[in-house]
Each structure stands twice: as structure tokens, then as C-alpha cells.
Amino acid sequence: MAGVGGVLGVALAWGLRFTDVDVYHREALAFWAGGHRLPTEYPILAMVPFSLTLPPAGIDYAWVFSFGMAALFLVGWIAVARMAGRRAGIAYVVYLLVGGFGVILSRYDLVPALVTVAAIAAAERKRWPIAYVLLGLGVFLKIYPGVLLPVFLIQQMRSGTPPPRAAMSAMWFGLTVAAGVAASIALAGPGWLGPVRFAIERPVQVESVPATVLSLASLLGWPATFDHTFNSFNITGPGDRAVSALFSALFVIGSLFVLYRQATGRLTLRQACLACLCLLLATSKVLSTQYLIWVLPLVAMELELDPVWILICLLTTLIFPGLYFLTALIDQAPEATATAYSWPLLIAIGTRNALLVAATFRTLSGSADRDVDRRAHLTELVQHLVHRVR
């Protein structure tokens, strides 16, 4: 526990230097000061964690937000350990402190990540209304949990629920999303689609797998261009949107494959959710450091400590904040002086992304039978040890 506290302290001190908390603070002020203006980049429920940046006068809002995320981190640790065992809890701590170093306490992505874990826990207990409501709430925190809706539907039908009844249960998701849309329209009018429009219009971000493809293409003469727009560092050039569209198509194809394997009993609920989220990360045109937080709790629950994912986490932290800082890829002046990407940065990103793609393929080829066999073997081993002790 002391070691965890020490790493959290270092992450806190570092994270507050390169933080989105100032952005959250401005968005919260704009919303609660009377205008009820919704964020441009984030859905409506993001205002809940953003409101942590509005403490009483005299208290530093950045520290309050970070301590709030630290408390949530500890709650997640307990939840993962209860759901998947002590080893999974240890893996959760290692992954998030290593892969999320510099962002775990200064971004709010742990909130939708743990809401998604809670939705999965409810689904495993066949509490479908709660599961669908939580999934809907996740959509209005960060949008991405919506990709798990068909996974939940298939799981419910595989658990013995007739399709019409499963569809009725999924109405809880629809009602939750409808309520969020209605509230957004009431507050923002035509601007309620701002977060979706923002996501669609963003260029290819430098840390994404599509950006790695474009970087490799630049070695063959493709005219890559440094770009700093949409609050991120990007790679643009002729055909970049076509590459992004190709990866979107790969996500759809990969998701259909995951759903087929789940429907035929080859993937468990957790495995299917993990596969879909890994696919999303590996094919998205944006892969900011904090996005890794979305999938790490599930990785811990399903794979425990895994060498490939440990390397992914280490390289992610090398990229940000490490190489971002060393190469001046920082949003705030006066550090923001970079006008091009260094090759060490691009090589680190390419290596990390190659490992992420490999890890994604492994999740696609996972087996529910192997998962059951592994758990049965562990249970048998524990029983044998207990018998010998007696």
C-alpha cells in the first residue's frame, strides 16, 4: 500500500504539470455559472467529474480533482479484486500506475472505465436492467461504451432469455440514452451533437495505429504533415481520411467476428468486451494516452499480469509524458515549441502499436473453453494445497 501511495504521489505531481484539469475547470465554470453550456468535446455526464474542479474558495481545484480520481482508483482496485481475485487486483494496480502514469489522476477516463466494469458485473449477475442503464450512462460519460451493447444482448440471449425479452431489457439502454439526448438538447439546442461532431472531424492523432501506417508511408515519400489542432498532435496529408475510413471498416469487420465467436460460445462476456475494446483502440484514429485506461481494468480481470500488456504500458508512459516532454509536444506555452515529430517518438509509438495489434489479435482468438479450463485448474490447485495443509 505504501508503494502504491508513493507512485500515486509521483504521478500526481507529474500529472498536474501536464493536465486537462484546467480544461475541465473552465467547462464546469461555463456550465454552472448560469449559462449551462455543454462541453464541445465531451458528453453531458462528463460534467459530473468536471464538477470536482469547483471546490470551495481557497482550495486548489486541480488537487481536489486528482484526489477524487485517486479515491476512485482505490475503489476500482477493490472491485476488480472482488470480481476476479487478488492477482487481478494486483494487475489492475500495476497496469494503471504504469500505463496511466501522468494521466491516471489528471484525466477523468477512469470514471467511464469503472462504470463499464460495473455494467459487466451486473450483466454477469443477470441484472440486465442495471447493466443496460450503466452502459447508457457510460455513453454519456465518454461515448465508447456504446460499442458493447450488442455484446450484452448476445450474452443475455445466451443465458436463456428469449430474443423479444432481451430486446425489451435493452430498452433500458435506449431510455437512458434518450434521457441523455433530451437533456443535452434542452441545454445545448442544436449544439448537443458537438461531442460526436468533434470526434468525427478530428484528424489522425499521432499515437494511433493509423498514424503509424501514415508514418511508415512517409518513408516511401508520402507527404506527412505535422498538425496541432483539436487539442491533440496529429498527422495529416493526402488520403489520411481514406486510411481512417479503412480502419473504421476493420473495426466493424472485427466486431462482427467477435460477436460471432461470442454467439457460438467461443468467447465469454468478459473476453468479448475486452476484444471489442481492444479493437476500438487498435483501429481508432485517436489513441490518446488516457484511452488505454478504458481497457486496462478488463485486461487485469481477464489476463492478470501479462508480459505483452506490461510492455504496452511501459511504452505508453515512455511516449507520454516521457518523449512528449523531451520533444516539446506540450500544449502549454512555453514548452510547446515542436514543429515536427522526432524519430524516437515515432519508433516508440510504432513499437507500442505493434504490440497492441498483436494483443488485439490474441483477444480475438481467445477461447471460453481455455478460460474455463484455467479457472478449473486453479480451483483444483487451491483445493489440493488446502488438502495438503490439513
**The pLDDT value given to residue 325:** 86
Query: Is residue 107's pLDDT more than 90?
Result: yes
Q: What is the pLDDT of residues 114-163, one digit of tens each?
A: 999 999 999 999 999 999 999 999 999 999 999 999 999 999 999 999 99
Q: What is the pLDDT of residues 355-380, one digit of tens each?
A: 999 999 999 998 776 554 454 444 44
- pLDDT confidence tier of residue 381, bands split at 50, 70 and 90: very low
Q: What is the pLDDT of residues 249-264, one digit of tens each?
A: 999 999 999 999 999 9
**The pLDDT value given to residue 372:** 47
- pLDDT confidence tier of residue 338, bands split at 50, 70 and 90: confident
For 199-203, 253-257, 311-315, which range has the lowest pLDDT when averaged over its residues? 199-203
Q: What is the mean pLDDT of residues 307-324?
A: 96
Global pTM?
Answer: 0.90
Q: What is the mean pLDDT of residues 174-189?
A: 93
**The pLDDT value given to residue 376:** 47
**The pLDDT value given to residue 314:** 98
% residues pLDDT > 70 (the chain): 88
- pLDDT confidence tier of residue 10, bands split at 50, 70 and 90: low
Residue 87, all three cell numbers: 492477482
Query: Is residue 40's pLDDT more than 90?
Result: no
Residue/partner pairs of 179-185 with CB below 8 Å, 24 or more apart: 180/43, 180/44, 180/45, 180/136, 180/139, 180/140, 183/44, 184/38, 184/43, 184/44
Q: Alpha-carbon dihedral of residues 152, 156, 159, 160, nearest 10 degrees?
A: -160
Q: Which residues of 251-273 are buried (b: 16+ CB within 10 A; e: fewer)?
A: beebbeebbebbbeebbbbbbbb
Query: Is residue 37's pLDDT more than 70?
Result: yes
**The pLDDT value given to residue 385:** 41
**The pLDDT value given to residue 57:** 84
Element (H, E) at 169: helix 163-188
Proportion of the chain in helix, strand, coil states, percent, rounded to 5: 75, 5, 25
From the CA atom positions of the chain, what is the Rg in Å? 21
